[in-house]
Amino acid sequence: MNKLEKLNQKIRKCKKCLLWRFRKNTVPGEGPVNAKIMIIGQAPGAEEDKTGRPFIGRAGKFLNQLLKIAGIKREKVFITSPIKCFPPKNRKPTKEEIKNCLPYLKKQIEIINPRKIILLGEVAFSLFFPKEKLNNFRGKIIKKDGKIFFPTYHPAAGLRFPKIKRILEKDFRHISVF
């Protein structure tokens, strides 16, 4: 059993916050242990909670389209979130929930050691750039701690707002150069 699978077992048993009471499945993330690109979203949704797989609902289908635009094969990237359980009513995760779950994400980054990290939305962006605003950095390449970050909006926002959908499509066209 590799380090990532051991970590996933810990995540499946986790009871660090109250979200474990509401989950059907944890959603540790998926992708190759040697992925060069990691995608970090906000939190699992209802579809993800049912299956234990990240980004498979409506936002996930849109993410697949965006990856195609970028020329990135989904099976080559590791996809995860800062929290590993579905927040009830699909609400934004609390600071406390993120704080409790963040060591898992940090360990995933350590094990996988991706060169590039795509940050989807304000929650993911603020983990790495807590004093900054996503709007000031969206669509720009940021180098920090030996990693290359590419922050953009969350695909769910693109489903709600046509303007953001167009921005996401534009951003993912630029990802191919990052």
DSSP per-residue codes, 131-170: TS-HHHHTT--EEETTEEEEEE--HHHHHH-HHHHHHHHH
pLDDT in tens, 80-104: 999 999 998 889 999 999 999 999 9
pLDDT for the residue 178 = 61
- Taking the C-alpha atoms of residue 36 and residue 113, their distance in angstroms, rounded to an integer, is 7
- Output the pTM of the full model: 0.96
pLDDT in tens, 6-52: 999 999 999 999 999 999 999 999 999 999 999 999 999 999 999 99
Of 143, 118, 6, the closest CA to residue 67 belongs to 118
For residue 177, pLDDT beyond 70: no
- For residue 79, what are its two tokens? 């996809």
Domain edges within the chain: 3-175
Strands 142-144 and 147-152: antiparallel
CATH code assigned to 3-175: 3.40.470.10
pLDDT in tens, 141-160: 999 999 999 999 999 999 99
Backbone angles phi, psi at 21, to 5 degrees: -70, -25
